[in-house]
Chains A and B, each alone.
Chain A
Amino acid sequence: QSALTQPASVSGSPGQSITISCTATSDFGTYHLVSWYQQHPGKAPQLIIYEGSKRPSGVSSRFSGSKSVNTASLTISGLQAEDEADYYCCSYAGNRPSYVFGTGTKVTV
């Protein structure tokens, strides 16, 4: 069972902003290097946020990330039809060591 819980689905209208949470079932302080991935149906995931809040080159500035003690968040602003996809958070648990993916969130526009 994943140690990172996300809402199963989030929806919004074009132009709106939505936020997807990623909550650790234990102290998130032991987790770091939080990243976020977008996956369209039938495609491989794509990195959209790394180290909690950094965007790779080429990723839209409409995507932003943040992290508090036990929760990481992905915000998509100015929602567009092309943002409809599944989104996954991921964190490195250095004390194990291993990576853990979140349960995934389906975004509907």
Chain B
Amino acid sequence: DVQLVESGGGLVKPGGSLRLTCAASGFTFETYTMNWVRQPPGKGLEWVSYINSGSMFIYYADSVRGRFTISRDNSKNSLYLQMDSLRGEDTAVYYCVRGHGDFGAWGQGTLVAVSS
């Protein structure tokens, strides 16, 4: 079965940093585009970042560009999101998501809370 398991969330102060990790299994990770999507508590979904299979194409939402960095290690079947200069509005559940145009597999999400 396809599995995406996020980790690394937690409580962080404004201006702080966190690194999220997504461990993938059950499919050939190196052949898939991956994304991060977030959802603030009680609110809708927001796409955050995209990385293609070979890390040649990387895109960010305007709201995180310059502060977040997406990366992947195909040898470890892992996706990462380095989050710097965190703000209160970054508080959300962060989902690791597989696909391009069809987000067919989602992790269970990891909560990031930014508060002093």
Contact = CB atoms under 8 A, between A and B. Distances in A.
A33 B50 contact: no
Which of A46, A47, A56, A104 has the most B CB atoms < 10 Å from its CB? A47
Contacts of B108: 44
A99 B102 contact: no
Given A2-B44, A44-B95, A99 B35 contact: yes
Interface in B85-107: 95, 99-104, 106-107
Contacts of A50: 101-102, 104
Interface in A22-63: 32-33, 35, 37, 39, 44-47, 50-51, 56
B45 A45 contact: yes
Interface stretch (A9-17, A66-74, A75-83, A90-98): A90-98
Contacts of A102: 44
B45 A104 contact: yes
Contacts of A56: 102, 104
B106 A44 contact: yes
Main SS at interface, chain B: loop
Given A2-B44, A100-B47, A90 B103 contact: yes
Among A50, A98, A100, residue most surrounded by chain B Cβ atoms (within 10 Å)? A98
Contacts of A98: 47, 50, 59, 61
| Tier of interface size on chain A | 20 to 34
Given A44-B95, A44-B107, A44-B108, A103 B44 contact: yes
Interface of B: 35, 37, 44-47, 50, 59, 61, 95, 99-104, 106-109
Given A2-B44, A32-B101, A90-B47, 10 more contacts: A33-B102, A35-B102, A44-B108, A47-B99, A56-B104, A98-B47, A99-B47, A101-B37, A101-B46, A101-B47
